[in-house]
Structures are given as structure tokens and as C-alpha cells.
Amino acid sequence: MSDRMTGQDASFDNAPQYADTRGGNTAVVCYGLMIATLFTVFATGLIALIIAYVAREDDDHWTNSHYTFIIRTFWISILYAIILGFFTFVIGWVPLLGWAIVGLMALYTTAWFIGRNVIGVLRALNGSPIDNPKSWFFG
């Protein structure tokens, strides 16, 4: 039989190619780390930040918009956490009104954080860039 292949498995020739060499897998991992930061007090978010800074390059590849989006999500969430901490210190001691204001601010910040990361991971899985990665909202 002449079906013999030397030094190569025939299944590799027929395997589909789903992504280019710079697929969005690293961006998806970074988004997962960012979502996990809700349970690790920014520890995994810091890891995602470092990965995003290292993986971002100076060309127009679609993954760069995701890395910029991840970096901005981290720093804006730190800003929101500082603002929330300030308001907790200033008005958090007021029994009902202070608790309500701080609670609504915390709810907004958490929803914003989860929303940005879910939108980012869905776009990364589809292979599409973030339209406006420098926005303060959902890109």
C-alpha cells in the first residue's frame, strides 16, 4: 500500500486551523483572571495586568484592543475601589442612608466590572476586537 507517511501523522494534515499564531487565548485567560479577582482581592487581577502589559504589542492586531481594555479595566476598578473606600469612611457610618449609598456604589462597581469582563471575553472568543478599548464603560 502506498498510504505510508514517513515521519508525520496523517491526521495533522487534515486538522482545521482555528486561530492564527496570536489567537485570543491569552486575552481569554486574562479575562478569567480578572473575574477571579472578585474573590482574591485583586491578586489575580494583578497577574492579568502583568500578562496584558507583556502580551500587548505595537501593531494593529485585534488582540491589542483586548489587552488595552483589560489594563484599563484594572486601573479604573482600582480608582472605583478607592472612591468606594472614601465614601465608606465618610458616610458609611450613617445607619440607613450611608449604608444605602455605599451599597449602591458597590453594586454598580461590581456590575460594571463583571459586565466589562464578560463583554471582553465574549468578543475575544468570537475573534473580534473591542470597538473602543479606552472607554470608561463597555467598549
Q: Which of 93, 53, 92 is nearest to 70 (CA)?
A: 53
137 part of a folded domain: no
Domain contains 115:
yes
Using CA atoms, how far apart are residues 128 and 63, in angstroms rounded to an integer?
8
16: in domain: no
Residue 39 has pLDDT above 80, yes or no: yes
Torsion angles phi and psi, residue 65, rounded to 5:
-65, -35
Q: What is the pLDDT of residue 15?
A: 44
Q: Reduced to 3 states, what is the DSSP secondary structure of residue 31?
A: helix
Quick one: pLDDT at residue 16? 46
pLDDT in the model for residue 77: 95
At residue 61, the 3 state secondary structure works out as coil
Task: Examine the pLDDT at 18 and tell me if it is beyond 60.
Answer: no
Domain membership flag for residue 2: no
6 lies in a domain?
no
Lowest mean per-residue pLDDT among 1-10, 38-47, 50-59, 125-134: 1-10
Q: Give 46-74 pLDDT, tens digit per residue.
A: 999 999 999 988 878 889 999 999 999 99
The answer to the question of residue 18 being in a domain is no
Range of the domain at 47: 23-126
| pTM for the predicted model, two decimal places | 0.80
41 or 53, which is more confident: 53
**Number of domains observed in the structure of the chain:** 1
CA distance 67 to 18: 21
Query: Does a structural domain hold residue 119?
Result: yes
* 113 inside domain: yes
| pLDDT, tens only, 105-116 | 999 999 999 999
Confidence band (pLDDT; 50, 70, 90) for 19?
Answer: very low
pLDDT score at 41? 85
What the block records as the C-alpha cell of 101 is 449609598
pLDDT attached to residue 21? 58
